[in-house]
Amino acid sequence: MSQPAEASGAGSVDSSSTPSTPFQFEVIDRDNATKARLGRMRTAHGVVETPVFMPVGTAGTVKAVSQEQLEGLDARIVLGNTYHLYLRPGEDVIGSMGGLHRFMAWDRAILTDSGGYQVYSMAGLRKLTEEAVEFQSHLDGSRHRFTPERAVEIQWLLGSDISMVLDECTGYPAGEVMARQSMERTLRWARRSRDAFDRLRAKEHGAAPGTLFGIVQGGTHADLRAECAQALVETGFDGYAVGGVSVGEARPLSLAMVEAAEAHLPPDRPRYVMGVGFPEELPRYVALGVDMMDCVLPTRNGRNGYLFTSCGRLRIRQARFAADSRPVDESCGCFVCQRYSRAYLRHLFISGEMLGRTLNTYHNLFFYLDTMRRIRETIAAGGFASFLSEFVHRVQGEVP
């Protein structure tokens, strides 16, 4: 089943806390029935086995859990956000502390989103021009300006292992004319981001603190997705993301847009779908050849008492769990399910106790990361296609 490894180097990476090491990605195995693949991504802050789900740590923290707990979950990479970290505490503060890794006491890999999605979501507070995006802070109303070059510079100062280009996230619905205009601006910004990153790398004599990914846009138009992917590959990036696929469109359409982009992306570079998804969607994207995903669902839903299990979704606030002595998920190996009852977790949630948010979030993250571990194992063992159909059927819907 195994096939020859494909590897890509993306220049040097440097960090104040670890020795310089090249960014590399290699495909080490493939599924025979789908496009699923098993990979290994090497960064300056450790090796990341793919396919991987990245917990979202927007402001330098994965909400409700500590770095020690993330390490206990064996999270190898987390996501931070340039927009939020720029506004508070600021890239200069973080840079003076030795970079985001040292600032948040996290010595594993970090990917930072450029802030394009956050700016997109503030429709009434931002203005797009060819040169930049101008926006008002959601914190105090102050005015700010991101150019593609500035977004790259901020991520450079943060010391990200993986930086993202500044893109224009195409909203839904968007007609073909509007989607094309947005996609073409994303391509122009991507080239400017690439040039800015290369200038910073040259200034440091080739020692870069990370690597740069391009982002495929194009709305819900498959031809635009394909065109954008091809143009990004011509520009040349160390990895490729598909953005704008979780902005209100139906999930089958999201999958179709990822498939349209993937067909034109190089097989020796990592592929990242941004902002997805529900548990049943994870193996579906993997089946399309996706290597990386992130989403706020496990943490946000955990804080709101919405738990993911091997038998479906469970809303812990429901009265039927008030005297339920069973764990959240009887087949789950996390410490929450090994120790605490549904009744106790419901009590914590109804009482507004902070511990409830932490335990719920930890369980959800364990479920997501354990799902990805099982996906990797089944790809290696040749049973991914069977896992896909069985898992998707089992986890959809509510716990009976």
Q: What are the residue numbers of the active site?
A: 113, 294
Whether 155 contacts 210, CB under 8 Å? yes
Reported residue count of the chain is 400
Dihedral angle computed from the Cα positions of residues 24, 153, 219 and 243, in that order, rounded to the nearest 10 degrees:
40
Whether 379 contacts 38, CB under 8 Å? yes
β-partners of residue 80 are 112
* Rounded CA separation 189/218 (Å): 14
* Rounded CA separation 65/62 (Å): 6
Give the max Cα distance, the chain. 64
Q: How many Cα atoms within 13 Å fall on the side-chain side of residue 260?
A: 21
β-partners of residue 240 are 214, 271
Instruction: Give the DSSP letter of residue 281.
Output: G
E-state strands within 218-305: 239-242, 271-273, 292-294
* Rounded CA separation 381/375 (Å): 10
Measure the CA angle with vertex 134, ends 131 and 136; round to 5°.
175
Amino acid identity for residue 23 in this structure: F
Nearest to 293 by CA among 271, 312, 265, 267: 271
Among all chains, which residue has been given the structure tokens 């990361």? 369
* Rounded CA separation 169/297 (Å): 20
Nearest to 180 by CA among 127, 236, 224, 240: 224
β-partners of residue 26 are 7, 40
* Rounded CA separation 134/126 (Å): 5
Q: Tokens for 12?
A: 């040097």
